[in-house]
Amino acid sequence: MGSHQDSTRDDSPQPLPTPATAAGREGLDALLADPGRAVVALDFDGTLAPIVPDPDRARAHPDAVPALAALAPKVASIAVITGRPAEVAVHHGGFADVPGLDRLVVLGHYGAERWDAATGTLTTPEPHPGVAAVRAELPALLERSGPAARGTWTEDKGHAVAVHTRRAPDPQAAFDALRAPLTGLASRHGLIVEPGRMVLELRPPGMDKGAALRSYVHSLDAASVLFAGDDLGDLPAYAAVDVLRTEGTPGLLVCSGSDEVTELRKRADVEVPGPAGVVALLAALAHRLA
C-alpha cells in the first residue's frame, strides 16, 4: 500500500495564485513576460524561515533552497533582504556553494552589507558609533526595567542590537513596556527603534529594506520586481515597490501571512500561508518559467 501511495503522489508545483489587485496582476504578468529582467526579493525570518523562539536556531524552510536554485537561473537576480548580518542569513539559509544560486545576493543589515553567491564575497561598512554605546548601556537599562525585562534577551547584530521578548512570560506586555525606554536609549545615541514580531531593534537611521530594494532594482535596471515579507520591517520595501510602480516598474507584493502581524495583509497583492506558502510560490514560478 505504501509503495502505491508513493508512486501516485502528485509532487507537481501548485498553480500560481491570481493577485487580488490590478497592480499585482500587472506585476506578475511583467515578471512572466520578461523574467530575465525580474528581481525576486525576499525577507528571511518569517518569509523564507519559520519564526522560532530562538533566532539563532532559525533555518530556511527545507524546500527553500531547492526552490530558489530552480528559480534563480531564470530571473535577473534573487535578493534576500534582511535585518540580520549577511553572513548569518547565508549560514541559516544554507545559501553558500549551492549550484544554481549564482544570481542570489544577500543584502544584510537592511542593505548595509552585501554577500554575493557568485563569488562568496562580503562587503560591509564600519558600524555606527551609537551601536557600541547602546550595547554598553543596554544591560543596565534592562536591569532597571525589572519584571518588564524578565525573560527577554539581547541579540548583538554588529550593526544593530535587538531585544527579543518572545520568551517573556507575557511577550506583548514586555514589548509594550520596553518600547519607550529603548526608544529613548536609541535616540540619545543617534539610532532608531525598529519594531518587529516580539523584537525591538536599535539601529542606525536610513537603513531600511525599502532603500535597499529600490537601489538594487535600479542598479540592475530591472523591468519588474516581486517582494515577499511578513513583518513591520518589510513595510518600507512594500512602499518602495509602490514607488517603483509609479516610476514604471511593475511590482508584485506578497505577504507571508501570520496572525501576529496583519498590516502587510492589507497592502499585499497575494497572501500565502507563511514560509511554506512562499516556497510553494517560488517553486510555482520556477515551474511556470521552465
Q: By three-state DSSP, how is residue 219 classified? A: helix
pLDDT digit string (tens) for the chain, length 290 residues: 333 344 444 566 678 999 999 999 999 999 999 999 999 999 999 999 999 888 889 999 999 999 999 999 999 999 999 989 999 999 999 999 999 999 999 999 899 899 999 999 999 988 889 999 999 999 999 999 999 899 999 999 888 999 999 999 999 999 999 999 999 999 999 999 999 889 999 999 877 899 999 999 999 999 999 999 999 889 999 999 999 999 999 999 999 987 777 889 999 999 999 999 999 999 999 999 98
Distance CA 142, CA 120 (A): 38
Q: By residue range, what is the domain housing residue 236?
A: 22-124+207-289
One domain, residues 192 and 54: no
Distance CA 242, CA 249 (A): 9
The CA–CA distances, whole Å, from 241 to 67, 78, 234 equal 23, 15, 11
Distance CA 62, CA 289 (A): 22
Q: State the residue for C-alpha cell 526552490.
A: 67
What does the block give as the cell for 190? Answer: 543617534
One domain, residues 115 and 193: no
Residues β-bridged to residue 136: none
One domain, residues 104 and 248: yes
Among residues 43, 32, 15, the alpha carbon closest in space to that of 75 is found at 32
| DSSP line for 88-150 | HHHHHHT-TT-TT-TTEEEEEGGGTEEEETTTTEEE--PPPHHHHHHHHHHHHHHHHTGGGGT
Residue-level pLDDT at 1: 36
Residue 62's contacts (CB-CB under 8 Å, 6 or more residues apart) are none
One domain, residues 35 and 118: yes
One domain, residues 44 and 92: yes
